[in-house]
Each structure stands twice: as structure tokens, then as C-alpha cells.
Structure 1
Amino acid sequence: MKVYGVVFVLGALAGTCASPENSFYPNLSSPDVITAAHYDAVPRGAAHETRTSASDGAYAYCSMPHPSVDMYKEPEPVRNGSVHAELKAVLYMQRHQKRTAYHIFPHGEATLYNCDDGRPYLYYSPSDKKLPQPMHVYAQTYADATNPLTQSLANSSCQFPQMTIGGYLDGVQHGAELRALYQDKYNIIPGWPSPRTVWFRSSTAALTQDSAGGVLRGLWPHWRGAIPLHQQSEFIDTHAPPCDRRDALLDAAKSTATWKKHLRVSSSLRSKLESMLLTNTSEWRVDWDHYNDNFQARLCNGYALPCALHKDKDCVTTEEANQVFTAGDWEYNYYWVDRDNVTEAIQLTSGLLIQDMVTHLTEIANGKSALRYLHMFMHDGDIAPLAGSLGIETLRWPGMASNIAIELWESKSSGMHARVLYSGNTIRSKHGNMDWIPLDKFLHGWSRYIPHDFVAQCATPL
């Protein structure tokens, strides 16, 4: 198996000999963590490579760990021999692989971004093979020197965002390692993509579809046919259903004393970055999302931290970047673990998606579905509330290809059990032991995040 890469390993928490798993769970309860700098939050990556060896299971933003032969452990009761059980099915949810940024600086970027090493294909093909088949056209982004907007924004052969070559290669590696575990070792993934036993879904975004192309190539390196990637219409997609009340809940969460302290603690850093990067516009001031996105995309794809537009020596330092990334971690933990209205927020963000997955798992357990492997390609905005619904104790920003695996194990003596992994490790959950939990109990607990009447609830004023 070929491995691509440059290693990215999160530094251990200062003053501890933390295990790789512990890197997912720093103390993010106080906004003061942003200036305490008690852990290394800076991602590291390269343009074409991901890593040179198997993951050790530590949080790694640019290429999150996932279940693989090298780090995988069976549930403790199976491992110690107290229960004899067989793995029956896997529901796998992952964020897309690494990409370019969504957000470039309002007054332009000094960095020249190059995406000529990848080809985003764009074409429509009739399902009837008797009809003329399309030319394989792809998007070739270019910068026109006569366009007055070129120099004022980003002189680039990239779209923002788009999958990068490093993201694609990481996807192939990701799929190959899943194949080695769930096909070669456990025979869950079949040798070819049978629609009877495997099922794939993505959001309507090109990023998730592009990621699927790489991962599925890793799953089946010799398959030459097409594979259906299920999507819902973007107007009713349960990945991102419109909901006024959900938006009001977020506004309420950002009006609390805790959130205001978060902005106050980080205000001096924000002022310095605004002066350097000319980001003193409203959308860059409401939270730390835009800075995280811009800096992450740079570092994961082999670019340096940014400098002032016309001052090459006035650049963001590693220490400042660490505060930015820690602020991003704190915000995700606040949104999906700590805020007062988090349960309803999860219901109205991912409740319909949870309903979809609970239905799949129930039908598999009841023998009404022959599916054994389901793989869904999502965004960080999907993975985060799903992790929150599973009771994750602490939530850092879900990195590139962060993933949740729900395994169904069957024992003749004790019935069906679930096990939940978050990026390759058993999730540490406030809801109890997720390494071995009766399936009925698991589904009952997860179902409390399904709204009883989504439309009515969304229409109810806060």
C-alpha cells in the first residue's frame, strides 16, 4: 500500500505525557484558554503529501486519523474474550479532505495560489449508454492580467474553495486504509461496490463529491465502473435544512456573558491582525471562523502564514496563529458542547440527518436492509453537531477528513451492540460508555436529538 506524505502530529499538552487520544480533549471550558497557549493547535501539511507513516491516532487537523489496521482495537469485551461477537455493519461519516480557503482577505492576497496540479471535472452524462456520451471537460481557473480585480483579490489558478491535490491523495490513502480494515480484515466492505450492501451519500457541495472520488478510489483501486453518490435536493437536504429558530438560537448563544468574554479576551490579537491584514470588516469580526479557515488552508497545503499585503516582513507569527486556532477550537466546543441551548440547536441542525441514520441502523438490525457499509461525505458543520449529539466530552474543530464510525456488533448471547469511534478512537462521551452499548439503548439515546415536528419547531419564535 502506498502512503503519501508529511507527518502532522499535534504537540502534547504542555506539562503532560498525553496519549494521542488525549489530544482530542484539551480543557476548553474557559475563554481564557485562548491566551494560555497550553497546547499546540497549529496544523502542518504540504502541497502534495499528507503523511509518511500510519497515524498514531492523535488529532491532526490537516489529515485526521481514522480507523486503520495499525491503530484499530476491537471493543474491550470482544478483545478480552468476555463476549464473542461479530462485526455486522459500519455507518461511516466523514468531513471532506483538505481544500483551499473559503475566505480570502477583503483587500487581496499576496500569496500566489496554484491549483494546476488538479482537474475538477464538470460534465453531464446520460444514463442511457446508447446516447452520445459527453466530452470530459474540466475547470481550468486562470487569472486575466487585464481584469482590474485580479490583483486586488487573489492572483490564482484556484477556486475558493476547491479540493487540492493533497486532499485528493489523502482521500485515496483514507479509502485504502478503510479497505485494509473493513474489507480485508472484517469483510464488511465487499470486493466490488454492490448496491445491495454498500450505500454512499454526500452533500450537494462539490467538495464532498470530490472527496468521495478519492476515497472510493482507495476503497476499490481496480474498479472501473461508475458508483452512485446519493444526494438530496439542496432545498430539502437534511445536511443543511433551513430553520429560522436555529439561527435565533445561535444569535442567543452569541449574546451571553461567556461569548462576550471570549471576544474580549481575544480583542488585542484581533486588533493586531486587522491592522496587518486589513480585515476590519464586519464578517471578520463576529467570530474566529474566517481567520481559522484562511490560516488552515495555507498551512495544510504547504503555504506560509500570511504577511501584510505590502510589507513582507510583517507576518503572522506561529504564536499568534496558535491563539487563532485555539480560539477556533473554543468556539466549536462552545457551539456544540457547552452552550445552554445546545440540545435544541443540534436537533434543528442535524436532527433530520440523525433521523436518516437511525432509520438505516434500525432496518439493518431488524433484517429489513442488507446494507453492511454506509459512507457519508459531509462538512465540519455536520460532523460537529453529530459529535455533540453523541455526547463528546470536548470538541475541537473537526479537522480535514474527521470522521465518526458507528459499528454494529452482534453476539449470539447478548444481541446487537453499537460502538462509536471518533477519528479512530472510541469517543469519550457524556452519555456513557460508547465502546460497547446495547444497540436499542444507543438508538433510544441518539433519537432524543430528532425533532418531533421540525417544520413547526423551526417556525416557533425564540
Structure 2
Amino acid sequence: MFSLVLLAPLVYAVNVTHYAPRSTNINNLTYVVNGTTDAPGIFNSSTTPDSEYGTYNWCNMPHVRVNEYVTPSSNYTLEYVEVIQRHHKRTPYASNTFFKEDVAWSCNGSGPAYYAQSTTGPAVSEIQWQASSNPTNPWTDSVGPGFVGSTCQFPQITTEGLFDSYIHGADLREVYASRLGLTSELCTSPAQIRVTNNVITSQVAGGLVKGLFPDTTDAEVLIERSGIDSLEPSLSCTNAIKPGTGDEGAGDGGVWKGHLAAAQSLYDKLDSVSGIASNDTASWHVSFDHYYDNLSAKQCHAKSLPCSLNETDICVTQDEANEVYRLGNWEYSYMYRDSLNSTKYSTLTYGAWLLEFKDHLETAMSISNGTKYFHNVAHDGSMSALLGFLQVSEMVWPGMGSEIVFELYSDADGAYFLRVLWGGQPMETSTPMGTLNMIAAETLIDYIEETVGSGEELYTACMS
């Protein structure tokens, strides 16, 4: 049975022990600001050359596929697989658009579908949303119009993101269908799909399911109601204070404010292009989230970097965009791994999902004919909290389509083992568990139990 060995203990309720990540260029602020002009990966294409597969690709992260997949020894039998992934690429969120945008963004013919159907009711027409605006409405331009005249929802999964979703599903099918006995239809397979309350995860599921189960026409997916959705997550937890908010207590030492101050000249340039400084609030200056999302969404869809609409020859350069991407990855490393409070935050934020996942594992270890494959379509906050809880050795901002796969194996003696794949390869952690490659299943189960505690303990730790 696994028990935590404390080297330099830092313990919170429930029972959180923080193990620092390794030092890399991702979490070295001096390098991030002054050390290079490069991007920390690929930001302009969903395609990664086969020879470079595994490279960080924000537009379409590496995932399990047959080319790189390593099958364990024949002494092991694959019993159950659970996947959790971030949605694929999309438009930016409306809150991340500039006050006025200098590029067009059209979603003609690819709007999200919204309609209800019933097996006992009448046949219905499929309804697709097509965004529109009308200049006669005096409120049309009152709050940051962003992409003027666009036919997109902000956000929505783009046509290119749907294609990535389909390929992702097809790649997973090629690896797991024969190993788990998955049929070509979801409804006849020992499989379940789960999405969050945010509709972009259902949009991704449409492409994913078609790739995974190619003969499926209508699919039922699981969803927890808004407010208690552990996958998103959207749970109320008073004590889950995100590092970087300035309220996380001892140990921060002004690190977060320091990185913002170090990037002030970059903010000045970005603000001169976006128009945010004179039309919005200081919320754009508490992190690089807004600029990161705006610039990366454009570049992933082969759109040009923005220029100012008010002044000529003032444009965001590629070097400046790359610095935004480096700073964004530094921020996620700090929030979910480097801050002394990051593991506590991840545990409180994602503990409920981890308890559900533990139940899935234990059920698969006790029932031979149950669900064999479970797929969760989630968000970057979901992936980050899970990576933070597992204490991955090198943290990045989980890009589009990023994926963690839990593979449960048995041997001839009835023992169970786990392999956890991050980007298609065994995950390296900073914990005593080390690399999660065919470890005893009880090791991870014990880690969840000792860190998260029971459901009652988790709820008390959140709300007390």
C-alpha cells in the first residue's frame, strides 16, 4: 500500500503534501521574460510533423495514437480506460476579444446545433445557430463589439476544431477498440461519454464520437447539472483560493505581482493595439489569460496578428506574441505547481471528480462486464487541476485537445496496475509515485484517499 514519504512536508487539510516541480525554462521567469524570443511550442497549426510528435502544440496537443503507442508486456490484460481531455480549438471567448478587431472571423455553415428530441415525441428539425447582429439595435456597439459582423458565437468550436476532434476520436479507436471490444456504435459498446455544461464540450463530443464510434448517428452523453458539475468544475468551494489572486497567504512573496511588473512594457504595447486600456477594466492586467487566448486563437486558425485600428504601423509582432505564450505557460506552472498552495487548490477544486474516478476504478476492478471505456470532454481548468493534483513534474498550460489517459491492467495473479499517459507517454510526477508506468493500482487509489479524503471530508475542507 502506498504511503506518503515527507521530504520537506507542507501539509494542509484534507491531507495535501506539496512536491515541487522540476526547474525548467517554463517556470524560470528570467528566461521567460529575457532569455529567448521563441514560442514554447507550436502555436500556428494543428499539425505536428511525425518526427516531432510529442512536442507541445497549443493548437492540437499530442494524444494517444498508434504510431507512438507502446503496448505493455503480454503478461498484462487491459481491463479499463478512462480519458479526460480538453476541448479542441475554438474562437476566443467574447471576454477575450479586443474592443475592436481588425480581422474577420466567419462561422458560416458551422454554427452550434440547439434542439430537443424525444424517443416518444414527434420527429423534429435540427436547429443550427448562426450568429448575427443588426446596426439598428442601439446596443449593438455599446460593449466591445469585437469581431464586427461575425457569424460566430464566442466561443464555439470551429470547423477546424471539429476536424481535430474527429481525428482524435479515430486515433483513440485505432488503439483501444480491439483491446477493449468496442463496437462501431456507441450505444452497443461498453463505453460512456461525459461532457460539461459548457456547450463547446458537446460540440467536440460530436466529432469525437464519430471518430471513436463511426456508425453512431445519435449519441447520449452524461452531464451533471450546473452548479455541481465536478468535471467542469463548477463546485462551490470557499477555501479553494487560486494562487496568483494575491490572497493565497504565506509563500507567495509577491511573485505574481513581480511577473506582471516585469512584463509592463509588453502590456503597454498590447494595450495600444487592443484598445482595452481606454475601454475596459484592469481585469486584463491580472494575468495574460485574455491576450493569450486572443492571439493564440487567431494564430491557430492562420489569422494575422492584430494591428491597432487607431494608429498606423502599430502591430503585435511575433516575438511579442511568443512572450505572451511564454508568460501564459509560466502562469499556469505557478498556479498549479510552483506555488506552495497549488496542490491544495487543485485538490479542493478537483477532489469531487477524483472521487468519482476512484469509484470507476474500483468498479472496474470488481466487475468483469461493466464499462470498459469512459471519456470525459472538459476544459483547461479541469486538466490543470488534475495535473496539479497528480503533481506532474513539468507543468504547462494544457492546450487544445490535451489528454490524460488512465489505463487499468490486470495480470494472471489477479493484481491490478495503472499506466497514466500524458501527451501519449507515461506521466512523470514529482511525488514518491514517480513515473506512472504500470504502478500498482492501489498506489494511486491510496494517494487519492489520503489526499482528498472522503466526500464528507472534502466538502468540509471546502466550506469550513
TM-score tier (shorter):
0.7 to 0.9
1:149 Cα deviation after fit: 5.3
Query: Residues 55 and 187 (structure 1 numbering): CA distance in 2 closer, same or farther, change over 3 Å?
Result: farther
Superimposed CA distance per residue, residues 392-449 of structure 1 (whole angstroms, 9 cap, x where no aligned partner) = 1111110000000000111114711000001211111112121120001121113344
The residue aligned with 1:139 is 129
Deviation at 1:122, TM superposition (A): 0.7
Aligned to 1:37: 36
* Matched ranges for 1:18-167 at <5 A: 26-35=24-33, 36-37=35-36, 39-41=38-40, 43-45=42-44, 50=47, 56-75=53-72, 78=73, 84-102=75-93, 103-128=95-120, 131-148=121-138, 150=140, 153=145, 154-155=147-148, 156-167=150-161
Match of 2:462 in 1: 458
CA distance in 2, matches of 1:272, 1:259: 20
Q: Which amino acid aligns with 2:88?
A: Q
Instruction: Report percent identity of matched pairs.
Output: 29
Gaps of 5+ in 1: 1-23
1:202 aligns with 2:195: yes
Note if 1:388 corresponds to 2:380: no
Aligned to 2:205: 212
* Structure 1 residues 2-21: aligned runs within 5 Å: none
8 Å Cα contact 1:42/1:321 also seen in 2: no
Aligned to 1:18: none
Scaled by the length of structure 2, what TM-score is found? 0.86
Alpha-carbon distance, 1:272 to partner: 1.7
CA distance, structure 2, for counterparts of residue 38 and residue 85 of structure 1? 46
Contact 1:97 1:168 in 2 (8 A): yes
Structure with the bigger RCO (C-alpha within 8 Å, sep 6+) is 2
3-state SS of the aligned residue for 1:244? coil
Q: 2:440 aligns with which of 429, 432, 438?
A: 438
Which of 165, 185, 188 is the aligned partner of 1:171? 165
| SS of equivalent residue, structure 2 residue 410 | strand
- TM-score using structure 1 length: 0.86
Alpha-carbon deviation of 1:314?
A: 1.4
Match in the other structure for 1:12: none
How big is the shift at 1:27?
Answer: 2.8
In 2, Cα distance between equivalents of 1:363 and 1:336: 30
| Contact preservation (8 Å) 1:57, 1:71 | no
How far apart, in 2, do the equivalents of 1:369 and 1:268 lie? Answer: 60
Distance 1:98 1:443, change over 3 A: same
Cα distance, 1:105–1:98 mapped onto 2, change above 3 Å? closer
The 2-side partners of 1:125 and 1:71 are apart by 41
Query: Match of 1:257?
Result: 254
Going from structure 1 to structure 2, the CA distance change for 1:271 and 1:97 (only over 3 Å counts) comes to same
The 1:447/1:317 distance shift into structure 2, 3 A limit, reads farther
Q: Does 1:190 align with 2:192?
A: no
Unaligned runs of 5+ in 2: 1-21
Give the CA deviation at 1:105. 3.9
Q: Is the 8 A contact 2:358 2:445 kept in 1?
A: yes
CA contact (8 A) 2:184 2:214 kept: no
Q: Give distance in 2, aligned partners of 1:109 and 1:211.
A: 26
CA distance in 2 between partners of 1:27 and 1:428 (Å): 17
For residue 276 of structure 2, what is the aligned residue in structure 1? 279
Quote the RMSD (CA, aligned, Å).
2.4
Evaluate the alpha carbon distance shift between residue 138 and residue 54 of structure 1 in structure 2; reply closer, same or farther with a 3 A threshold. Answer: farther
